[in-house]
Amino acid sequence: MPRHRDTRARIVEQRKLAGLTQQGLALRAGYSYSLVHQVESGHKTPSPGFVAAVARALRIDVTALTGQPYMTELRQDRIAELIRPIRESLDLYDLGPDPDLATRSPAELVVAADTLCAHVRATQLNRAARALPQVVAELTTVAYRQPSRELWAALGSTYRSAHDITVKLGFYDLSTIALDRMEWAAQRASDPLLSAVRQYMRGLVYFREGEHTIGQRLVAAGHRALEQAEESTASLAVAGQLHLGATVIAARARDADGVALHLAEAGAIADRVGEAGSVHWLSFGPANVAAHEVSALAELRDYGKAVEKARKVTLPRDWPASRRAHLLIDRARSEVETGRIDAATRSLLQAREVAPQQTRYHPGARETIHELVHQQRRAQDTVSHLAAWIGI
């Protein structure tokens, strides 16, 4: 059964278990009865925002509705076999140094942590997932034996990569554990910027769950963590990224005023620091502010304006593939919602070319491909190939 049908069936089942009618669920979730009916009857693909709102309304975890959405594709890409080693590497953090483990030098391991981040930003998920457990194990052992701020920070960065990998592959339980380990390492590194980045990423976890108030509280906690650091280009970039996180959280809550406020704050910081892609492997700067505005407009369902803004975004040549593909996916989603079928197909093809693995597992890309198939009585060859590629 295709994944979106699995989700639709779970929505129906969980709604009935909660004793709600379609009208009752619509009222709780903040969506129209018409949309709930269309989703449950198979005439509309459930968007990530819709699924999050339903999960929140029913007081269940999002994964109760989505399941593990990509297992077939993970096996095809030979990534499923890598999840257990990652799980073990996140679990064995408190055992101290491994006496039987041969390790690289501290300098080599710091480079290895940076290389992992580079692989993730380039969306080389298979390569990053294979390297991650060994880097975690070696860094943990060396940091216990030769504790230093640099080594603990490198371990924190590696846990951040573990979060990025697992969340992209749909293993949300592991992504949450990785963020806990990230804070554990950040405290030992006495690095308030790393702690703030971790709060930003926690906020996005709750964004996915539809818990907007908690997400905003976590962003505020990130700003408080930054108060422990002196103002610098790095601290400003992290502050700006926190505002961008708050932007998309506010957008999913349909808080247009909050979106405008946080975008303005982020934009003012971006004007001061410029493109700051080297800060904790963030992509903060004017380009990312513009990209987040597109995402926010799509979440607010102002799809026409999102398409217009997306066409005007100018990306730096060295912008990471992960962010470039995300923008293209947001653009495709908005294009399909405004009836621009050919344009949406082209945007998805560009996203696949830029970041094939990320696009294959991205909920927004999959939702858009489902919509392309649904809207065409006879799918074009290109759309059919995209559908087969994601497992329809």
Q: Are residues 37 and 106 in the same domain?
A: no
Instruction: Give the pLDDT mean for 34-44.
Output: 89
Evaluate if residue 9 carries a pLDDT over 60: yes
Q: What is the pLDDT of residues 123-154, one digit of tens each?
A: 898 899 999 999 999 999 999 999 999 999 99
Q: Are residues 174 and 110 in the same domain?
A: yes
Q: Is residue 89 part of a domain?
A: yes
Tell which of 134, 164, 190 closes a domain.
190
Confidence of residue 1 (pLDDT cuts 50, 70, 90): very low
Q: Are residues 166 and 226 in the same domain?
A: no
Would you call 98 helix, strand, or coil by DSSP?
A: coil
Confidence of residue 211 (pLDDT cuts 50, 70, 90): confident
Look up the CATH number of the domain holding residue 33.
Answer: 1.10.260.40
Q: Is residue 195 part of a domain?
A: no
Would you call 320 helix, strand, or coil by DSSP?
A: coil
Q: Is 50 in contact with 31 (CB distance < 8 Å)?
A: yes
Q: Is 125 in contact with 79 (CB distance < 8 Å)?
A: yes
Q: Is 90 in contact with 178 (CB distance < 8 Å)?
A: yes
Instruction: Give the pLDDT mean for 276-289.
Output: 90
Range of the domain at 164: 81-190
Q: Are residues 59 and 124 in the same domain?
A: no
Q: Is residue 237 part of a domain?
A: yes
Query: pLDDT value at position 321?
Result: 93
Residue, of 378 and 349, whose pLDDT is higher: 349
Q: Is residue 308 part of a domain?
A: no
Q: Is residue 73 part of a domain?
A: no
Instruction: Give the pLDDT mean for 159-176.
Output: 90
Confidence of residue 387 (pLDDT cuts 50, 70, 90): confident
Tell which of 136, 160, 190 closes a domain.
190
pLDDT, averaged across the chain: 90
Sign, CA dihedral 161-238-311-316, equals negative
Q: Is residue 76 part of a domain?
A: no
User: Quick one: which of 291, 305, 198, 212 has its CA closest to 250?
Assistant: 212
Query: pLDDT value at position 69?
Result: 55
Tally of domains within the chain:
4
Tell which of 302, 331, 347 closes a domain.
302
Look up the CATH number of the domain holding residue 333.
Answer: 1.25.40
Of 25-39, 267-281, 377-391, give the lowest mean pLDDT range: 377-391
Q: Is residue 310 part of a domain?
A: no
Query: What share of the chain has pLDDT > 90, as a percent?
Result: 66
Q: Are residues 331 and 293 in the same domain?
A: no
Q: What is the pLDDT of residues 62-106, one digit of tens each?
A: 777 876 556 566 666 677 788 889 999 999 999 999 999 999 999
Q: Are residues 227 and 260 in the same domain?
A: yes
Q: Are residues 172 and 223 in the same domain?
A: no
Evaluate if residue 333 carries a pLDDT over 50: yes
pTM above 0.85, yes or no: no
Q: Is residue 346 part of a domain?
A: yes
